[in-house]
Structure formats: structure tokens, C-alpha cells
Structure 1
Amino acid sequence: MKKRVLGKTGIAVSEIAFGGVEIGIPYGIGVNSEADMLSRDEAVSLLHEALDKGINFFDTARLYGESEAIMGEAFHDRRDRLVLATKCKHFKNNDGQIPSYQVLKKIIESSLEESLGLLKTDYVDVFMLHQADLEILANDDVKEIFTKLKDTGKVRAIGASTYTSAETKRAIEKGWDVIQLPFNLMDQQQADNFNFAEEKGTGIVVRSVLMKGLLSDKGRGLHPALQQVEQHIGKYRELLTDEIPEISTLATKFALSFKQVSAVLVGIDRSEYLNRALHSVDGRLLNAAELSESKALVYPDPSFLDLPQWDRLGWLK
């Protein structure tokens, strides 16, 4: 497994990052309850397998249910072999307002302490804002509190998880060390920020590379409302070859073909999916022609690609 440096942090991470949401809460196509998830022992075993096969970068969050606790159980005795990223719990109040400095500081610090306890470690490599919007990113108190946590040694780098290109641009401007952002074959809008991130030394971690599994063998027989999406996904099969036999492989290689990307976050809840992800980073990225063809097959209406909304409407069951 090749490693890339996470921006200017000096932290070397595997090209594939293990996404911890699926071991913590029901998430993804066909996963409707805990009955569809791995047991705790199975999840721990899968984490060990991923580490032993070369993945050193593991991503979780305070809001991912049991994910942090499971990672703590799996990694407490091998902490020096991995890079851990977690995200702060949400801190806006019921009115959608950011609280005063002291209240905000208490929420953020308590979230970190809870994560450290569950992860059974005394530091995290990356501590991130979860769903950072423009208001949060513009708030100097938020950035100051996170920055001061680096001084304590409990955090090596600070980051923000964003959704829109405008949010990513603002996070880079504000000097966050790492940005986790959505980017994939169908929605390539965030590429507009890649050169800026490189210029500022900001580490880029790509999520949603498989669009909750749509850009894999699960992208068939979708809800009628997603008929055009399914038809578009079919176009990627025309780019498959003996070396790139699956859409999931194409999607992963596509994201990693951008030099500014430090790692691709892949949700993994089966050994089969782990091995597919590992096969995608066999050292061969897309050549110029393949990358050009993939860029050209961007979805024509990226504003429609709202997976959280699709989930709320029941289109991803």
C-alpha cells in the first residue's frame, strides 16, 4: 500500500482510508438496521485485517454510533501503527446558532475527550469539524479552539468535513490542515479547489468516492426516481478493461489520479469490499486518456446528486 503525505501535516497516510461509519451505524444501500451490520467481533476482525493488509488511515466520528468504541477495542494495543481521524459532535443550538465562546469550548473539548476515551488513546491524528458550513467556517472562535487543542498534544492536525465547493474554499482560506470533501466520477465540482489546496499545503481526503455504493455493482435496479442516474452509471461500464474490471475500481483510481488527493475514504464492512479497495491501489492510476474520458462523463446535473436527500426520501433502500 502506497502512502501519501497529508498536506503540510507531515502525516503519511495510506491511499485508501477505512471509512468507519458503516461499522457504527446502519448506512448505505441495503443496510436498514443493525441486523444488516457486522457484529462487534466481526467489525474488530475486519479492522485488524485492514491494518494487516496495509491500510493505516482510519476515519470515524463522535456521531457514528459504536464506531469509535469498536476502533478503540481493535487498536488500543497497536496505536503506533495507524493514523486516526475523528470528528467533533455538532455544536449549534436548537435555533441553529453557534453558542458563546465558553459554551462552544466546552462542547468541543468534551467531544474530543469522549472520543479519546472510546478510542482508548491519548491523542488523535486529525480532529475535524463535522459538516462544516460557511457560518461555522467563518467563526474565529471555532478555529481558535481547535487550534489550541493542537497545542495540548491531544490533536496533531485539525480539519473540516465539507459538502460544497464554497465551503471547501473557505476552509482552505481559513487555514484548516485537512479537508474531507465529496468527489467522484459523477460529481467533480470540488476539483476546482484542488490547486488552491496544494498551494496552501492543505491535505485533501476524498469521501463519497463510491456514492454510498452506487458506483459499484450495487448501482443497478435503483428506485424509479433515479432511473437517469442508473443510466448514467451504465456509461462507466464502457470504460472498463481487464485491468479495471469494475466501476468501483475505476472510481477509486479516478480520485487517486489527482495528485492533490492524499487519500480516498472507502466505506468498508466486508472483507470482499476491503479486497476490492486494495485491488484498486495496485500502483496503476488512470492514464491521460482514461482520465480525460472519465472527466468527460461527469453527471450533467450535479445539483441533483443529493444522497442525504435521496436517503430521506427512501430512494436508497
Structure 2
Amino acid sequence: MTRGLEKRSMKRLGKEVTFVGFGALEIGRNWGLGSGTEVERPDEVGASEVLNGVLDAGINLIDTASAYHRSEERIGLFVSDRRNEYILASKCGEHNNEPHTYYDFTYKAVKESIDQSLIKLKTDIIDIMQIHFGPDPEEVLNRGETVAAMKDARKEGKIRFLGASIDGGLATRCIRSGDFDVMQMAYSLLDQGNKENIRLAHDKGMGVFIRSGLAAGKLTKRVIPHLGSDFPEKEKVKKLLVLVDGDGDRLTELALNFLYNEPGVSSVLAGSKSLSHIKQNLELLARPLDQSLLDRALAIVNE
């Protein structure tokens, strides 16, 4: 069996989640590496195919947000009838104003946003509601309105657990506060800044969801046509590609196994508008782990 469907325990939540989860950004909002059709969200048929295919494959976590434009609505339309098959996580604080978004972390706005998410998702309860922090997360935490609104929504039976999507020192603050059950953090072979936060959260029994686990496509074959452009990690990516003889799939395999080897990670949010990409991630995690190659990759990124 693929390691991608291995269940990992989130002790504080009393739930188990598949190592590979589904990040539902791209089925609702134009996003991704590239331009034009490369970043366009799928049509209704395509979105339904991806969502149902993810569940058919055995993945049991779907992560969405109000800010992902039509994502919540499409989840409600196409898989609300399979609600008992997945853990549902959404976010509040950043709001949909398609084609844009805006931030409002006031008590009233957050309570209303949660109610709207329930309607769009066609569910009575959202398992995990996370704060979708904006440009001044410290102010949001200091004011406390967002957390208060989420706690009241929990008392009302609208959400089960609280989460925060944030990195660095403020993630550490959230973990230590005791207010949150789940942390969503950026972490990848190229960006290991949250390593200690992951371990701290895991030690407290929290769920740890990883976003940008493939560095927004930079650790996939999709990066190859863009190597002529400038981006901060380009030289490391080029060296990693040399290590895997230019095979972008092997690069992704290394990136996924790096995350798999971190016991503090509950689930890696693999986002795509293509079901084949999700299935390929699962297939790559079914291959035997080449620890020697992974060690050489780590030496490259840490040099």
C-alpha cells in the first residue's frame, strides 16, 4: 500500500488522518505555477471528478477556505453526500470577493463567515476551522476577536476544533496558547523553518497540516520550464534536478519522502486541479524509499 494513505493519529482530536490530504484551493480559485490555462480552475465536471476521485482513492482530509473562491461551494455540491468519508477543514478571516479576497477578523465577520461556510459546504458541522491570517497576524491574536468567535461557534456546535494557518514565531505562540487543536504550516525540503514548531505541536498532541510541501510546484516537474526565471531557490532546485538525472517525478518523490520521515507531520495537503497529479503523489509514495538519495538531497538544500 502507498505510504500516502497511512493513517496518522491526531491525539488531541481523537482522529486519524491520511498522510496525504487534499488541498482544495485549485478546484475553486485560479492559482498555480505558470500562466493562462495553467492556472485556471477546472469547470464543474472537472471539479467533481477531482473531489470524488480523491475520496475514491482513500484520502480522508479535505482542506478548503472561504478565500478559495468557489472551493467550498463545489465541495458542498459534489461531495456533501459523502460527508462521513472525510475530515473537513476550512478557514476564516480572509473572505471571498471574487476575483479578489479581503481580510476581516472582527467577531461579527468571523461568525457570519462560519455560517456561510456551513451553507456552502452543505454540512451541519465543520471539523476544523482555521484562522486564515493576513498581513498583521500579531494584531489579530492580540485583539482576540477571531478566536472568541471561533470558540463561540464551537459552543454552538458549528465547528469541532480550532486551527491556525501561520508560521514562525507566531506559530509558536499559537501552539503554546492552548487555544488551538491544529496547526497548518509551510514546510518542505526547500523550507524547513517550521521544523521545531512541528515537533512542538506534535508533542502537544495537535494535528499538523503541511501546506507548500512541494514548494508551490518548485519540487515537481512543473518547475522545469520555469528554470529560466529567477526565484530564490532556483540554484538548489537545479542541483536537485541534477541529482535525480532531470527526472521531475523523482524530485517530487524525494520531497514527499522528506515530509513522510517527519513523525510530527499529520497530513501533507496536496493540492491540484488534476486528479492524475494527486494519484501520482500516492504512487510515488508506494515506491521503496531511497534513503541514501534523500540524504544527498538534504545535503544539497542545507549546504
1:97/1:25 CA distance change after superposition, 3 Å? closer
Which of 106, 109, 118 is matched with 1:107 structurally? 109
Please state if 1:190 is matched with 2:199: no
Which of 23, 40, 48 is matched with 2:44 structurally? 40
8 Å contact from structure 1 (residues 7, 204) kept in 2 = no
Please state if 1:154 is matched with 2:161: no
- What is the 5 A alignment of 1:6-155? 6-32=10-36, 36-90=40-94, 104-131=106-133, 133-155=137-159
Rounded Cα–Cα distance in structure 2 between residues aligned with 1:207 and 1:199:
20
- Offset, 1:41: 1.4
Q: Give, as a single letter, the amino acid of the residue that structure 2 aligns with 1:69.
A: E
8 Å contact from structure 1 (residues 185, 295) kept in 2 = yes
- Offset, 1:97: 10
Aligned partner of 1:230 in structure 2 is 234
Please state if 1:266 is matched with 2:261: no
Q: What secondary structure is seen at the aligned counterpart in 1 of 2:123? A: coil
1:226/1:24 CA distance change after superposition, 3 Å? same
Please state if 1:174 is matched with 2:177: yes
Q: Give, as a single letter, the amino acid of the residue that structure 2 aligns with 1:152.
A: E
Rounded Cα–Cα distance in structure 2 between residues aligned with 1:227 and 1:160:
27
- TM-score, reference length from structure 1: 0.82
8 Å contact from structure 1 (residues 15, 281) kept in 2 = no
Which deviations, in whole Å up to 9, do the C-alpha atoms of 1:195-246 show, x marking residues without a partner?
21122222111110112211100112326552663331122235549xx952
Gaps of at least 5 residues in structure 2 are 96-101
Rounded Cα–Cα distance in structure 2 between residues aligned with 1:35 and 1:142:
31
Aligned partner of 1:310 in structure 2 is none
Rounded Cα–Cα distance in structure 1 between residues aligned with 2:241 and 2:228:
20
Rounded Cα–Cα distance in structure 2 between residues aligned with 1:283 and 1:10:
30
Q: Give, as a single letter, the amino acid of the residue that structure 1 aligns with 2:172.
A: K
Q: What secondary structure is seen at the aligned counterpart in 2 of 1:122? A: coil
1:4/1:77 CA distance change after superposition, 3 Å? same
Q: What secondary structure is seen at the aligned counterpart in 1 of 2:219? A: coil
Aligned length: 289
1:126/1:228 CA distance change after superposition, 3 Å? closer
- TM-score, reference length from structure 2: 0.86
8 Å contact from structure 1 (residues 60, 87) kept in 2 = yes
Which deviations, in whole Å up to 9, do the C-alpha atoms of 1:70-117 show, x marking residues without a partner?
1111112111111111000338xxxx9987xxxx22111110011110
8 Å contact from structure 2 (residues 185, 194) kept in 1 = yes
